Amino acid sequence: MSLKVSISGIRGIVGESLTPEVILNYTLGFSKILENGAILIARDSRLSGEAILNLVKGALNLCGRDVVDIGIAPTPVVLFGVANNKKIAGGIVITASHNPEQWNALKLVNGNGKFISQIELDKINEFISKKRFYFCLL
């Protein structure tokens, strides 16, 4: 099964199409398109969620981002949290929603508390294709 990339998420089967490299690339590209500020993160209760969360948090920290981890929470909580806190630049929800357990996804939330637009996704994909990431190792 192939990776499904859209404005509603980067979805795949963990370890097959949703690999650590894919997770890192989309996390780094997402960080690059956002304004300055922390990233709000939540996940669902899938077994793969905590490992993906740790990978995402580490990548964001390497980009110089603070991470606000709210644990297991539904997607609308992240949307609301980003929309109503000016110190939060965006959000990531680690959930594949209705898909089977072996699936997981990154749902990317822009600074307005909405899922990223196609234009934002195109910018992320451009950064990924050119490997133009910024790491802040202070």
- pLDDT tens digit sequence for 27-45: 999 999 999 999 999 999 9
CB-based contact 30:63 (threshold 8 Å): no
The pTM of the full predicted model, rounded to 2 decimals, is 0.94
What mean pLDDT do residues 90-113 have?
96
Q: What is the pLDDT of residues 42-70, one digit of tens each?
A: 999 999 999 999 999 999 999 899 999 99
Q: Which residue has the tokens 């072996």?
A: 102
Q: Rounded to the nearest 10 degrees, what angle do helices 118-130 and 20-33 cross at?
A: 120
User: Order of strands, edge to edge, in the sheet holding 88-94?
Assistant: 4-6, 9-13, 103-109, 88-94, 38-43, 67-72
Mean pLDDT score across all residues of the chain: 93
Decide if domain 4-130 falls under CATH 3.30.360.10.
Answer: no
Catalytic residue at 6?
no
Determine what percent of the chain is predicted with pLDDT higher than 70: 94
* Per-domain boundaries in the chain: 4-130
- Which of 6, 97, 117, 129 is catalytic? The answer is 97
